[in-house]
Amino acid sequence: MSGAPDLVLNGVCVRDGFAEAFPMAATRLLVTADTARWALTAARSMTGFATSVIGCGCEAAIERELAPAETPDGRPGVAVLVFAMSLKDLKKVVPLRVGQSVLTCPTTACYAGIESGPSIPLGRALRYFGDGHQVSKRLAGKRIWRIPVMEGEFVCDETTGAVPAAVGGGNFLILARSRAAALAGAEAAVEAMAQVHGAVMPFPGGVVRSGSKVGSKYPGLIASTNGAYCPTLRAVTPTALPPEAESVLEIVVDGLSEAAVAASMRAGIAAVCDLGAEAGILAVDAGNYGGTLGPFHFHLHAIMGGAP
């Protein structure tokens, strides 16, 4: 912290803190289907159990829905972002998730959402499911695979590109007078942040109730509850909460770039502050570990235009 005065927006204190984020590798996939319903079904399945690399192996979420005019095959689609701690990890999790959740889903196809950067296997890995009957074609300089399935065939790009220097773990905390107020603030933030392309919130509904700190009293546990922001622990651990704060929710954001993470955070914090103190919002803070976790520091005052 710089020691600057807190920034107050609509009665909400934006604390002079920063969110600490870390490097990740990421890719975008375009999932299409005969109907928007089945494209969403596949995308939701593919991004399931992908909230945190701590326990899930990757972080993934739906970026946005796509109109037929925006997809390679002219059908309804969904753009999905997948993040992992390294390109090696990304190359492992992407084919597994596409194979289990998109290949299996009625009427779907899967295409590259990023054309540049290191290649991540899609059809290159999944073609073997065709048991020798798979067919490859080149269209507009790209190789696609047609894999026979009982319903017809699954069409898939051979690879997708990747961003080797993506950003994971951008975040902010909503401190509120009640659980209902905190949830209303979080929902408003997620709705606003969903309009920012190139960034996603991987936790359920985009919201985290169980914010963590690095380490634990128990050997081998790499993360544990962030006691400084738990209202029920005020009497037994140092607290970062004002006396009237009864609930805290966190929004975590991953992005293809620093700019995307900053834009997403700005949109979310603005939406929370628009609700204001009258809605029970007390403050906005951010989670960091003294600069030891990652090299990307998103200072709240700078993001909200209150500091250089």
Instruction: Express each pLDDT in 117-164 by its tens digit.
Output: 999 999 999 999 999 999 999 988 899 999 999 999 999 999 999 999
- Measured distance CA(241)–CA(243) in Å, rounded: 6
Residue with tokens 């084919």: 95
Q: Do domains 7-17+166-303 and 25-161 have the same CATH topology?
A: yes
> What are the residues facing 138 on neighbouring strands?
143
**Residue 308 pLDDT greater than 70, yes or no:** no
Query: What residue ranges do the domains of the chain occupy?
Result: 7-17+166-303, 25-161
| Residue 193, token pair as written in the block | 């942040």
- Please report the pLDDT score of residue 5 as a whole number: 77
CATH of 7-17+166-303, one of 3.30.70.520, 3.40.50.720, 3.40.50.10800, 1.10.3720.10: 3.30.70.520
Cα-Cα end-to-end distance for the chain: 14
Residue length of the chain: 308
Tokens of 242: 């004002």
Instruction: Tell me the pLDDT tens digit for each residue of 234-293.
Output: 999 999 999 999 999 999 999 999 999 999 999 999 999 999 999 999 999 999 887 778
Contact between 56 and 65 under an 8 Å Cβ cutoff? The reply is no
What contacts 221, CB < 8 A, 6 or more positions away? 215
Structure tokens at 201: 């919130």
Alpha carbon distance 223, 217 (integer Å): 10
Angle between helices 179-193 and 258-275 (to 10 degrees): 140
Percent helix, percent strand, percent coil in the chain, to nearest 5: 30, 35, 35
Domain 25-161 coded CATH 3.30.70.520 = yes
**Residue, of 213 and 194, whose pLDDT is higher:** 194
Q: In what helix (H) or strand (E) does residue 266 lie, and over which residues does it extend?
A: helix 258-275
The strand pair at 199-200 and 247-255 is best described as: antiparallel
Q: Is pLDDT of 1 > 60?
A: no
